[in-house]
Structures are given as structure tokens and as C-alpha cells.
Amino acid sequence: MSAIYEYGELKKQDGIEQGIKEGRKEGRKEGMKEIIKNLYETGMNIKEISAKTKIDIKEVEKILN
């Protein structure tokens, strides 16, 4: 194998790994949004949600609006 081919394969693998990391991060973010919405729907107020999730009140308000 040539050095150029091997370099390309390494870059390809790096890209795949980066994509997986970003996908997981986005999935966790979307999951937290759903949790926040569910907590609010069950009657928990924004201040309590912020305290329990450790997410800033303004961010919780943004998610709910």
C-alpha cells in the first residue's frame, strides 16, 4: 500500500469517528430536551427543572418555548 492511500484511510477513519462523536452529542442534547419538556408537563416549574438538570434557567425557558 502506498503512503498516500494509508493516509487517506486514516483520514477517513478520523472522519467516521468524529461523526459518531457528534451524533452521540446531538442525541444526548435531544434527549435532555425531551426530559425537560416531560418534567414541565408533569407540573415541575422551570426553576426546579433547572436545578435538577443543571441547565441554566434561560436555556430551559428557551427549550420550552
Tens of pLDDT, residue by residue, the chain (65 residues): 688 888 888 888 888 999 999 999 999 999 999 999 999 999 999 999 999 999 999 999 999 99
Residue given cell 500500500 in the structure block: 1
d(CA 22, CA 43): 32
d(CA 36, CA 47): 11
Domain span including residue 27: 3-64
From residue 43, alpha-carbon distances to 25, 36, 49, 50 in Å are 28, 11, 10, 14
State the pTM of this model. 0.73
Number of domains in the chain: 1
Direct distance between the N- and C-terminal alpha carbons of the chain, in angstroms, rounded to an integer: 55
What's the confidence (pLDDT) of residue 21? 92
What's the confidence (pLDDT) of residue 1? 64
